[in-house]
């Protein structure tokens, strides 16, 4: 059975060119980038090159790139690191942030000493952060910190980060965006987004797991989460994972240079997929607003998402139910709750996230298989009720 991978928002397969770039740094070029000898110099040069590749891909200078162990660490570094260099105040985040933004922000509000106040921007029923509510909350709370993701990992809905940044800056706030699901799918330029900090992660863009970056405005004050030898300008100590960082650099360069080609390849697949799903009676979340082309978050009423995912897996299709990036936290999707989706329908949510290797034939097979499984499940429930 040929297996069809449709879960690219969870993670992606390493690109061959990225693997090729990484391999020398796992064996022959194994030096510690802090060493003064030639092994160290080779490793340091590789990190410098990767820093430039990441910086070029998002239009910043290399000094603005801080390497971390993942998007989760980068988001924590912003929330906790920025908060620790300020007096306790208000923090505003959107209600649909990934848990690695949501939870450190909540933790700030639960600190025993000097707790912060947290509030959340609501979304409309399409999953777009509501700009009118943003304006009102910003004026009321005058937050010190704001974080709004660029693209939601479940719905693929694109947020209007630059407008929110304008409003946040007008109130004197520092603003961050988690661009982990946006970079490689839509154009991402740090200065166009007008944020003070932005998160990227390698494994969502055909790079390795365990490598990411927090891009920062040079004037942003941050306290490190990890103290030690003072790596990454003192902001993230620890011997650099050279191979992973090389992979992140290569993946960023590739993602940027292939953006148009990737979109052109994936858009017709998404269109075919959604036409087929709608014909089956599916609800597609966020369909009315701008979304990235690779993501389709849908529900077939009365077909439980978890059940469909298991059946599809057995039939050779890897898709995700609900909040798949955090299936360690099962339960109803907080994103669908923020969109005021009926909990009964939310239980039916399934996410397909397409990637560069998917084909129209795979999508057509997926539609036929889903239709067959849905008919079987409906038939079974009609005889058991």
By CB under 6 A, name the binding residues for ligand PLP. Answer: 70-72, 75, 98, 100, 149, 153, 178, 180-181, 201, 203, 212, 325
Q: For this structure, is 348 an active site residue?
A: no
Per the CB < 8 A criterion, the answer to whether 239 and 35 are in contact is no
Per the CB < 8 A criterion, the answer to whether 104 and 58 are in contact is no
The number of helix segments (H) and strand segments (E) in the chain equals 13, 13
Least distance in Å: CB of 10 to ligand PLP?
Answer: 7
Q: Which residue is nearest to ligand PLP (CB)?
A: 71
| Catalytic option among 100, 296, 325, 348 | 325
Bridge-based pairing state of the strands 145-147 and 174-178 = parallel
Q: Report which DSSP code applies to 291.
A: B
Give the gyration radius of the chain's Cα atoms: 21
Q: How far apart are CA 294 and CA 317, in angstroms?
A: 16
Least distance in Å: CB of 290 to ligand PLP?
Answer: 17
Of 106 and 280, which CB lies nearer to ligand PLP in the complex structure? 106
Of 158 and 373, which CB lies nearer to ligand PLP in the complex structure? 158
Least distance in Å: CB of 298 to ligand PLP?
Answer: 18
Q: How far apart are CA 231 and CA 355, in angstroms?
A: 34
Of 197 and 374, which CB lies nearer to ligand PLP in the complex structure? 197
Least distance in Å: CB of 59 to ligand PLP?
Answer: 21
Q: How far apart are CA 103 and CA 75, in angstroms?
A: 10
Of 42 and 76, which CB lies nearer to ligand PLP in the complex structure? 76
> Rounded to the nearest 5°, which phi and psi values hold at 175?
-120, 135
Catalytic amino acids?
325
């Amino acid at each position: 059975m040929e297996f069809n991978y449709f879960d690219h928002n969870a993670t992606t397969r390493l690109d061959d060119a990225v693997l090729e770039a990484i391999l020398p740094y796992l064996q022959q070029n194994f030096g510690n980038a802090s060493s003064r000898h030639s092994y160290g110099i080779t490793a340091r040069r590789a990190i410098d090159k990767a820093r430039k590749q990441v910086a070029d891909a998002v239009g910043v200078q290399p000094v603005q790139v801080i390497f971390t162990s993942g998007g989760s660490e980068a988001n924590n570094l912003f929330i906790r690191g920025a908060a620790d260099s300020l007096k306790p105040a208000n923090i505003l985040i959107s209600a649909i942030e990934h848990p690695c933004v949501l939870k450190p922000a909540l933790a700030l509000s639960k600190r025993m000493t000097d707790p912060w106040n947290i509030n959340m921007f609501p979304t409309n029923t399409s999953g777009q952060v509501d700009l009118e509510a943003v304006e009102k909350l910003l004026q009321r709370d005058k937050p010190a910190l704001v974080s709004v993701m660029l693209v939601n990992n479940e719905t693929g809905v694109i947020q209007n980060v630059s407008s929110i940044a304008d409003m946040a800056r007008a109130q004197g706030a520092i603003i961050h965006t988690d661009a982990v699901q946006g970079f490689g799918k839509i154009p991402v330029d740090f200065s166009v987004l007008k944020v003070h900090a932005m998160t990227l992660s390698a494994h969502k863009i055909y790079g390795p797991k365990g490598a990411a970056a927090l891009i920062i405005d040079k004037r942003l004050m941050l306290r490190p989460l990890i103290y030690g030898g003072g790596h990454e300008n003192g902001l993230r100590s620890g011997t650099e994972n050279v191979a992973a960082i090389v992979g992140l650099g290569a993946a960023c360069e590739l993602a940027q240079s292939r953006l148009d080609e990737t979109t052109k390849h994936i858009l017709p697949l998404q269109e075919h997929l959604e036409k087929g799903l709608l014909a089956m009676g599916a609800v597609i979340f966020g369909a009315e607003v701008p979304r990235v082309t690779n993501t389709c978050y849908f529900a077939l009423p009365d077909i439980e998402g978890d059940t469909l995912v298991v059946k599809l897996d057995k039939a050779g299709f890897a898709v995700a139910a609900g909040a798949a990036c955090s299936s360690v936290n099962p339960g109803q999707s907080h994103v669908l709750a923020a969109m005021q989706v009926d909990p009964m329908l939310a239980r039916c949510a399934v996410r397909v996230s397409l990637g560069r290797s998917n084909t129209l034939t795979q999508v057509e097979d997926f539609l036929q298989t889903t239709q067959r499984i849905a008919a079987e499940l409906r038939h079974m429930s009609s005889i058991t009720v």
